[in-house]
Each structure stands twice: as structure tokens, then as C-alpha cells.
Amino acid sequence: MALIEKNTQFDADKLTANVVGIAADVGKHDSGMHQHHKGQLLYAPQGCMTFALNDSICILPPTKAVWIPPHTPHRAVMTNVVAYRSVYFDCDKFSCPKSIVMIEVNDLLK
């Protein structure tokens, strides 16, 4: 998993790998509404973040992850320090869920 620094510009869609993992300790941050060509598994093993879609919003605690299908507009907001983790999947290469899925975080993800 790649470590991302505070000022690093990152775009998972520009990478050719079928699976890309990133990790960052993020303070106050608002990703703004955006989407990816790749599917995204988003979670934070420490801290909470707010996760929003066009029509809903939820708190994502350390015990949960969210699967975000490709081309799904979403936004992540962190108001305190969060151990941010994302794994991006090329869904042309894998059989990926087609809808948002909340997932219980297991030891493998931690």
C-alpha cells in the first residue's frame, strides 16, 4: 500500500495497476464531490469520516468500510485526524459489486 503525504496529488485512474492501495493520515479534509473510473473500497481504521452520495450521508466508523462502484459520485469529509485507507479496483478485470455496499472491517483490512 502506498503512503500518501499531505500535499501529494493522487489519481488512482491514472495508474495502470489492476489493484491500487493507498494509506494516509489525514487531518481536516474535504474531497469534494468526485468519482473514479475504478471501484473504491474506503475505510479508516482510526478515526471517523463522513461519507456522502448525491442523496445520502453517513458516518463511516473504524468498524465499517464502504464499497463505491466505478463512476459513483461521492464525497469524504474528515474533521479530525483519520487513518485514511482506500483500495481501488479495475472492475473491468474483476467481478465488482454494482451498488454501494457497507462492509464489516475484518482483520485482513486492518
- Which CATH class, in words, describes the domain spanning 18-104? mainly beta
Is this structure's pTM higher than 0.85?
Answer: yes
Q: Which three cell numbers stand for residue 59?
A: 458516518
Helix (H, G, I), strand (E, B) or coil at 67: strand
CA–CA separation, 105 and 107 (whole Å): 7
Q: What is the pLDDT of residues 39-60, one digit of tens each?
A: 999 999 999 999 999 999 999 9
* Alpha-carbon gap, residue 46 to 90, rounded angstroms: 26
Return d(Cα 78, Cα 58) in angstroms, integer.
12
How do residues 50-108 score in pLDDT, each as one tens digit? 999 999 999 999 999 999 999 999 999 998 889 999 999 999 999 999 999 999 988 77
